[in-house]
Amino acid sequence: MSGLPETDEVDILLIGGGVAAAGAAEELRRQGFRGSVALATRESDPPYYRFYLTKDYLRGGIASDDLAVHSPEWWQDNDVQLWLRAPVLALDLEARTARIGRRSVRWGKALLATGANVRLLDCPGASLRGVHYLRTTWNADDLRKDLQTARDAVVVGGSFIAAETAASMAALGVRTSMVFPESAPLARSLGVPVGGIVEDELSRLGVAVRGSSIVKSLRGDDRVFTVVLADGTELRADVVVVGVGARPEVTLAKRSRLPLGATGGVLCDATLRTGHGHVWAAGDVCEFDSIRHGRRVRIEHDRVATAQGRHAARAMLGSDAPFDTYPYFWTTIGEDLHIDVLALDAPADEVTPLDPTAHRELLPRQPKRSGGTGGPAPAAFRYGAGGETVGYASINGALSLQAVQRELTRVRGAGVLPEEKP
């Protein structure tokens, strides 16, 4: 079923159209739950993988149907109702009802998985035509259309999205610059040593990388044509793509008076239950008590969101186990740089190169390529805090992820994210 709700009651309501809600739906049926399940989302498409938007999808290598988490038949076969273009406008926590359009739907339990919204560029000219953000398929479609006639582009930000998008636009033949305040791209999330490898690869792909740079303004009449930096540098730009992070979408949570945490997410306990006994949260919006970090954290990544959705589903069915998985992150920059990270905190206090010859137990059984296609050679890094290992980064298959998972589980006792197709 798709479209607006045609029922007045549902046992479990999944609020959000991302991988967290999709993971919850899948896990509920996998655990044998036979009650009614509905997924309500403001989007017009069923849940899809967003991490391909900046890569294969932007370059035209795959179609929108290839992004789908599940086929249309899966939703029907598993009797999960899909309510598309159906944003939940209000939650009455006491009555356990949700207002969707003009209909009030009663629910037994609910999952809040509303994701995040992009952070907007805050400077003069930010609203000019030609300025893009990349969060949805239609964002990517609009950008791809603009790139067909663009000669020069500027990517603002040093994030995953920014680096991936810059590499893709350069591959499409657009002269691309990337500007950000950090010393290296991804330095804030992966550390300066890994960021240096990313910068070298972006430069090799033809991206003009400008670290330690701040955008002062955008200039144009109706449409952007210049990006002005704080040092006075002016960059020609037919297209500007902004990738400066995201904010958790907590509008519904605020309306429902669910408590929020320091990072702006919905406060949850270690099981991902919110301040209301019949509501859980998962994904970008979830700020939970992490027994491994020893504090409340909020993690923005698709793999973690999927795992949290599955965990919340089990919690709804009676499990009181804490969410206890080691965060796994990955990115691909262009065709020749793949980075895998298993780490509690990255970067931590210490980011140091790892000598593979001294850690043969972490190496893959079959050696990976050594940069023969022109990309970076395999390399590995250790993340540490107070002398304690908290994670690893693997460049181009330098480490075996299975071996790293076993090592981290042995050292810290944490579970790991389940194997799944990226």
DSSP 57-95: IHHTSS-GGGGBSS-HHHHHHTTEEEETT--EEEEETTT
Could you tell me where the DSSP H helices lie in 236-383?
Answer: 251-255, 302-316
What is the chain's percent helix, strand, coil content, to nearest 5?
Answer: 25, 30, 40
**Which residues, other chains included, contact 212 with Cβ-Cβ below 8 Å and sequence gap of 6+?**
181, 182, 183
Residue 277 and residue 109 in contact, taking contact as beta carbons nearer than 8 Å = no
**Which residues, other chains included, contact 53 with Cβ-Cβ below 8 Å and sequence gap of 6+?**
67, 134, 135, 136, 137, 139, 140
Mean pLDDT of 157-184: 97
The beta strands (E) that lie in 17-66 are given as: 37-40
Band (419; pLDDT cuts 50, 70, 90):
very low
| pLDDT value of position 369 | 52
Q: What is each CA distance from 400 to 193, 341, 367, 412, in whole angstroms? A: 20, 11, 10, 18
| pLDDT value of position 366 | 66
Q: What is each CA distance from 213 to 124, 183, 235, 280, in whole angstroms? A: 16, 9, 12, 40
Mean pLDDT of 323-333: 90
Q: What is the pTM of this model?
A: 0.92
**Which residues, other chains included, contact 151 with Cβ-Cβ below 8 Å and sequence gap of 6+?**
174, 175, 236, 238
Average confidence score pLDDT of the chain? 92
Q: What angle do CA 390, 395, 399 make, to 5 degrees?
A: 65
Convert the pLDDT of each residue in 23-57 to its tens digit: 999 999 999 999 999 999 999 999 999 999 999 99
Nearest to 309 by CA among 45, 154, 115, 86: 115
DSSP 273: B
| pLDDT value of position 245 | 92
Band (413; pLDDT cuts 50, 70, 90):
low
Residue 420 has pLDDT above 50, yes or no: no
Residue 135 and residue 145 in contact, taking contact as beta carbons nearer than 8 Å = no
| pLDDT value of position 383 | 93
Nearest to 381 by CA among 196, 222, 245: 196
Residue 104 and residue 96 in contact, taking contact as beta carbons nearer than 8 Å = no
Mode of pairing for the β-strands spanning 37-40 and 80-83 = parallel
What is the C-alpha to C-alpha distance for residues 74 and 69, in angstroms, rounded to an integer?
10
Task: Take residue 213 and report the two structure tokens written for it.
Answer: 């740079």
Convert the pLDDT of each residue in 345-391 to its tens digit: 777 678 999 987 788 889 887 665 544 467 899 999 999 988 888 89
Amino acid sitting at position 397: G
Task: Take residue 406 and report the two structure tokens written for it.
Answer: 């076993």
Which own/partner contact pairs does 139-147 have at CB distance under 8 Å and 24+ positions apart? 139/53, 140/53, 140/54, 140/57, 140/58, 143/58, 143/239, 143/241, 144/58, 144/60, 146/238, 146/239, 147/172, 147/174, 147/239
| pLDDT value of position 344 | 86
| pLDDT value of position 268 | 98
- The CB density around residue 55, as the number of other CB atoms within 10 Å, is 20
Q: What is the DSSP string of 88-152?
A: EEEEETTTTEEEETTEEEEEEEEEE---EEEPPP-STTTTSBTEEE-SSHHHHHHHHHHHTT-SE
- The CB density around residue 419, as the number of other CB atoms within 10 Å, is 8
Mean pLDDT of 397-405: 91
Tell whether omega for the bond before 347 is within 30 degrees of 0, i.e. cis.
yes
Instruction: Please list the residues that pair with 297 across neighbouring strands.
Output: 288
Helix axes 302-316, 19-30, angle to 10 degrees: 40
